[in-house]
Amino acid sequence: MFRFHSGLQDLTLYNPERTITVKGSIETCAKAEEEIMKKIRESYENDIAAMNLQAHLIPGLNLNALGLFPPSSSGIPPPTVGVASAAAASSYPPFGQQPESETVHLFIPALAVGAIIGKQGQHIKQLSRFAGASIKIAPAEGPDAKLRMVIITGPPEAQFKAQGRIYGKLKEENFFGPKEEVKLEAHIKVPSYAAGRVIGKGGKTVNELQNLTSAEVVVPRDQTPDENDQVVVKITGHFYACQLAQRKIQEILAQVRRQQQQQKTAQSGSTQQRRK
């Protein structure tokens, strides 16, 4: 016979372990220990493989620094040299510049808010420090609201860490039904003039995004831009799919900003030429 000595409520960012008590004869305890260790090894190897794949899929993120593996582990095997490595190197900000901060609105089951906040707000404070991000829970839109919005502000690596830990909490505490796939719903705001670039001609770009990432990417039609002339892009999928879609959309936005800057520079040069 074996049972968990500690409960899920005892888990924190800095105490991510549970105690298993095994009772029985020496022979049965030895067999139980062997099976438990086998499951732990399988889980660890799956996590390593998934994170190694992610190092190729999301260029520019320092996945070894995410703290998702114990300090004694060897971390994530380095990606092979090639296109993925070159893309990762090219996506880092220029030397001396900090990565740009992003704001993501994450929607979680209302029942999960207490677990994310923790006793006297300790869990959300620890999560914020761990990720290096600002994390706030928005007020409920109504007494019967089934979803609550988590506002996460920080650079890409902070987004990855914060969203990863929230996703893990939702998964481990079973806030989804037994037949439901655990997914994240993330909303990011984009300038209304850039929404067309995310969608692409005839929806080509958004369809390619969905095929590449396995996430659902939707730019709702007939949106009224907010006071900052921004509209919402909705991304839904499992953690890695959601992260990859966010990074690809941010790449599109960065490209739009670069093109705008180039146009301004060209116009400024043209104006100066005419004045001469």
- pLDDT, tens digit (0-9, with 9 covering 90-100), for 243-253: 989 999 999 99
**pLDDT at residue 50, rounded to an integer:** 59
Mind listing the pLDDT tens digit for each residue in 31-88? 888 888 887 777 666 665 655 555 554 544 545 544 444 344 333 334 333 333 333 3
Sheet holding 184-191, edge to edge: 134-137, 147-154, 102-109, 184-191, 230-237, 216-218
**The two structure tokens encoding residue 81:** 């040299």
As a whole number, mean pLDDT of residues 133-137 equals 96
Range scoring the smallest mean pLDDT among 49-53, 76-80, 227-231, 237-241: 76-80
Mean pLDDT of 113-134: 93
Per-residue confidence at 118, pLDDT binned at 50, 70, 90?
A: very high
**H or E segment to which residue 168 belongs:** helix 156-172
Give the pLDDT confidence score for residue 9 in this predicted structure.
45
How much is the mean pLDDT over the chain?
77
CATH level 3 topology of 102-264: TATA-Binding Protein (3.30.310)
Which range in 25-29, 161-165, 262-266, 270-274 is most confidently predicted, on average pLDDT?
161-165
261 pLDDT band (50/70/90 cuts)? confident
Can you give the pLDDT at residue 37? 80
Q: How many whole angstroms separate alpha carbon 242 and alpha carbon 261?
A: 29
- pLDDT tens track for 13-25: 444 556 778 888 8
pLDDT at 18: 61
**Is the pLDDT assigned to residue 147 strictly greater than 90?**
yes
Q: How far apart are CA 234 and CA 236, in angstroms?
A: 7
Q: Write the pLDDT tens digit of every residue in 201-222.
A: 999 999 999 998 889 999 998 8
Residue 162, C-beta contacts closer than 8 angstroms, at least 6 positions apart: 127, 128, 131, 133, 135, 152, 154
pLDDT > 70 fraction of the chain, expressed in percent and rounded: 70
Give the burial class of 156: count Cβ atoms within 10 A of its Cβ; 0-12 exposed, 13-18 middle, 19 or more buried. Answer: buried
Q: Which residue would you say has higher pLDDT here, 96 or 114?
A: 114
Confidence at residue 69, expressed as pLDDT on a 0 to 100 scale: 40
Q: What is the pLDDT of residue 77?
A: 39
Span 160-181, average pLDDT = 85
Q: Distance between CA 111 and CA 250 in Å, rounded?
A: 30
pLDDT at 262: 87
The label of the residue with tokens 């992003």 reads: 102
Domain boundaries of the chain, sorted by first residue: 2-91, 102-264
What's the DSSP call for residue 101?
P
Q: How far is CA 229 from CA 189, 191, 222, 259, in A?
A: 10, 6, 14, 19
